[in-house]
A and B are shown apart, each in its own frame.
Chain A
Amino acid sequence: MSRFSDNATAAAKDKNLQTALYNATERFKKLRADVIGSIDFESYRKKASAVKSDVIDHLSYYLDQFEKNAEKQGTKVYYAEDAEKAKEIALRIIRDNNGSLVVKGKSMVTEEIGLNEFLQKQDIEVVETDLGEFIIQLAGEKPSHIIAPAIHKTKEEVGRLFAEKLHIDYTDDPVKLTAIARKELREKFLKADIGITGVNFAVADTGSVVIVTNEGNGRMVTTVPKVHIAFATVEKIIPSIKDLSLFLRLLPRAATGQKISSYVSFLTGISKEEKKNERSRHIIFINNGRDAIIAGAFRNILSCIRCGACINVCPVYGFAGGYSYRATYPGPIGIVLTSLLEGISNRSDLPFSACTLCYACQEACSVGIKLTDMIRELRRAAVDRKSTGKKLSIMMRMYGTVFSSPELYKLSKAPINMMIQKGTKKHE
């Protein structure tokens, strides 16, 4: 694994990248600043944080409730302990439906588990349909920002890429390039048998999957193909449809400076008539290390709604760009999540080299995650480990918290079983 500081130094020398990063982060910051004041941001994020903490405290309960309500309406619910299991489940659904062409909406969790590569190896065609994702898929790259995946590409680069891969005449006009993508992808939508998306919110009291997009690809992917498979990490749950008013005001404001995104889709099961048409909806809840995070001192990181605000305000991201992190999630949220998911000792340079402790991210976070404090804590843990020679001091810290709570202790004893025993409720 190349070091963050080396990657960032290289990035700093790339002129195109520097211009793209500067323009994008400044634009996002301004868009957010213009509109965030139209709500009482402090109360909103406090409330969002309270709702999300409640979800994490009672995750089994809410997962259970979601499952019951979703299945009543005809959605099939699956649980996957890890990435491998999640991919297997998806493959089984695709095979059962004789699927060969998958269209995808933008989803970070499928990046996290490496879904595309896996399906392609099984001879299944996978087409990304978010314009940014489509561009980087053509280029054979990975997203460099969670909201704007192709942030690092100039329009000339996109023009050359389209000319080469789609065999068309060169143009660098964004309007024309978008029209070309529309046409190309429209054909794919109409032919596809399977639609795969992430989830912005999984609503426990209705069993709905909520997806927020601007392009409309999220609606296409969940409307045209007969089968919809949604991937959600367990923390995407929210208790009630009533909580959505809060999150639907926060997320678009923080992410793209909009009062609401162009499209919000609520997908709740499948009607009886549509079942006869062999339509089906599936949701795969993925743990992939979340149980260990819940059991530790950094559990609040799971409140994240992936708005990207912390990334846009981060001065280090602003010159290092997304790739320097060599991780699915870049920026401050990425430093913390990556350290926790991949192990602090494996990525111990991140909390040091990728952060100046300026606190901009903590101030910006839409759900009040103490990002900078967490990064500080990760540093301390790494230093502790060095000076005391204790190998897993960070784990010890976590277990400090764990032992103080019998419920968490139970969780930590049976990490994988959490998903299976999710029926176990608190206080019972």
Chain B
Amino acid sequence: MNSFDNIKRITSEKNIRLRSPLKKRTYDKLQLFIKEAEAVSTETMVIKRQNIETELKKLVNGKKAWVEQDIFPFDCCSTAEADIAVQKADFGIAETGTVVVTSALFSEQLPSLLPMHHVAVVNESDILRDTEELFGKLGTAGIPHRISFITGPSKTADIELNLVKGVHGPGKLTIVIVENDEKM
């Protein structure tokens, strides 16, 4: 960008200072994340790291499920056949109760898209305040080929404004938050 462009941009940015809708006062990121997620009909669970497998198995056992390999091996179905899919999410965004799934491969987007129930597993330590924090982390050079923000279930109001869930994507979203390991 040449200097004149720069001058113009800097000046207009100086004049208008935007505040994130999150108030300055200290707030609990985890609490806000849960509150905002539930406000858009996302279910949330907070679990301890050592309980991941037992807790998640309760969700998937006996169902046509797809589970990300690294979480635990679960041999059942492809994402297209599954009714429920469990996948790690890279970040959470507290301001909107959003989970963020980044990927280089298309297939990595399918668990959060094809089955009726999507379970996103996110570390408490990866919950960020807002998109400013996320974009700061991602930078610009070489950002992931795909970044998906997922907030609540798939929905529509296209027929007489009736809210219906599960149009093309999942009708149900559960976020499993893995608590920070206890500090000594």
Say whether A associates with B. Answer: yes
Nearest Cβ on chain B to A332's Cβ, whole angstroms: 22
Task: Tell me if A148 and B21 are in contact (CB < 8 A).
Answer: no
Closest chain A residue, CB of each to CB of B130: A245
The answer to whether A268 and B21 touch (CB under 8 A), given A181-B167, A205-B140, A217-B168, is no
State the CA gap A267–B148 with chains docked (Å): 9
Task: Tell me if B9 and A43 are in contact (CB < 8 A).
Answer: no
Contact of B4 among A50, A260, A273, A427 (CB under 8 A): A427
Interface of B is mostly: loop
Task: Tell me if B12 and A54 are in contact (CB < 8 A).
Answer: yes
Contact of B162 among A40, A129, A155 (CB under 8 A): A155
Task: Tell me if A271 and B131 are in contact (CB < 8 A).
Answer: no
- Among listed B47-55, B69-77, B102-110, B174-182, interface-contacting one: B102-110
The answer to whether A260 and B98 touch (CB under 8 A), given A44-B18, A241-B138, A267-B146, is yes
Which residues of chain B have C-beta atoms less than 8 A from A50's C-beta?
12-13, 15-16
Task: Tell me if B132 and A274 are in contact (CB < 8 A).
Answer: no
Interface residues of B in 16-57 (CB under 8 A from A): 16-21, 36, 40
**0/1 string, B157-182, CB within 8 A of A gives 1:** 11111101011111000000000000
Which residues of chain B have C-beta atoms less than 8 A from A216's C-beta?
113, 154, 167-170
Task: Tell me if B36 and A150 are in contact (CB < 8 A).
Answer: no
Which residues of chain A have C-beta atoms less than 8 A from B18's C-beta?
40, 43-44, 47, 246
The answer to whether A61 and B5 touch (CB under 8 A), given A40-B19, A216-B113, is yes
- Among listed A110-118, A182-190, A291-299, A313-321, interface-contacting one: A182-190
- Among listed A20-28, A79-87, A349-357, A389-397, interface-contacting one: A20-28
The answer to whether A219 and B140 touch (CB under 8 A), given A178-B164, A214-B155, A268-B145, is no
Nearest Cβ on chain A to B57's Cβ, whole angstroms: 27
Nearest Cβ on chain B to A151's Cβ, whole angstroms: 8
Task: Tell me if A208 and B143 are in contact (CB < 8 A).
Answer: yes
Contact of A215 among B95, B147, B156 (CB under 8 A): B156
A46 interfacial contact with B, CB 8 Å:
yes
Task: Tell me if B9 and A266 are in contact (CB < 8 A).
Answer: no
Task: Tell me if B146 and A259 are in contact (CB < 8 A).
Answer: no
Chain A interface residue count, CB cutoff 8 Å, equals 85
State the CA gap A273–B107 with chains docked (Å): 12
- Among listed A5-13, A94-102, A130-138, A409-417, interface-contacting one: A130-138
B92 interfacial contact with A, CB 8 Å:
no
Contact of B109 among A153, A219, A246 (CB under 8 A): A219
Which residues of chain A have C-beta atoms less than 8 A from B8's C-beta?
54, 57
The answer to whether A178 and B156 touch (CB under 8 A), given A185-B168, A245-B130, is yes
Task: Tell me if A130 and B21 are in contact (CB < 8 A).
Answer: no
The answer to whether A174 and B106 touch (CB under 8 A), given A131-B167, A244-B131, A262-B151, is no
State the CA gap A215–B154 with chains docked (Å): 5
Task: Tell me if B148 and A265 are in contact (CB < 8 A).
Answer: yes
The answer to whether A135 and B158 touch (CB under 8 A), given A178-B164, A262-B150, is yes
A345 interfacial contact with B, CB 8 Å:
no
Which residues of chain B have C-beta atoms less than 8 A from A274's C-beta?
104-106, 145
A77 interfacial contact with B, CB 8 Å:
no
Which residues of chain A have C-beta atoms less than 8 A from B144's C-beta?
266, 268
Task: Tell me if A43 and B154 are in contact (CB < 8 A).
Answer: no
State the CA gap A256–B109 with chains docked (Å): 25
The answer to whether A129 and B16 touch (CB under 8 A), given A262-B153, A267-B146, A268-B144, is no
Known pairs A268-B146, A426-B4 / 18 extra A-B pairs, C-beta < 8 Å: A40-B19, A43-B19, A57-B8, A58-B5, A130-B158, A150-B158, A153-B160, A174-B159, A215-B169, A220-B113, A240-B140, A249-B21, A260-B149, A262-B40, A262-B151, A263-B169, A268-B144, A273-B104
A residues bordering B, Cβ < 8 Å?
20, 23-24, 27, 38-40, 43-44, 46-47, 50-51, 53-54, 57-58, 61, 69, 73, 129-132, 135, 148-150, 153-155, 158, 174-175, 177-179, 181-182, 185-186, 189-190, 205-206, 208, 214-217, 219-220, 223-224, 239-242, 244-246, 248-249, 256, 258-271, 273-274, 279, 425-428
B residues bordering A, Cβ < 8 Å?
1-2, 4-5, 8-9, 12-13, 15-21, 36, 40, 80, 95-96, 98, 104-106, 109-110, 113, 130-132, 135, 138, 140, 143-162, 164, 166-170
Give 23 CB contacts A-B under 8 Å: A27-B161, A40-B19, A46-B16, A73-B145, A132-B156, A175-B162, A175-B164, A178-B166, A178-B167, A185-B168, A206-B140, A217-B167, A241-B135, A244-B131, A244-B135, A245-B132, A258-B40, A260-B96, A260-B98, A265-B146, A268-B144, A274-B105, A427-B5
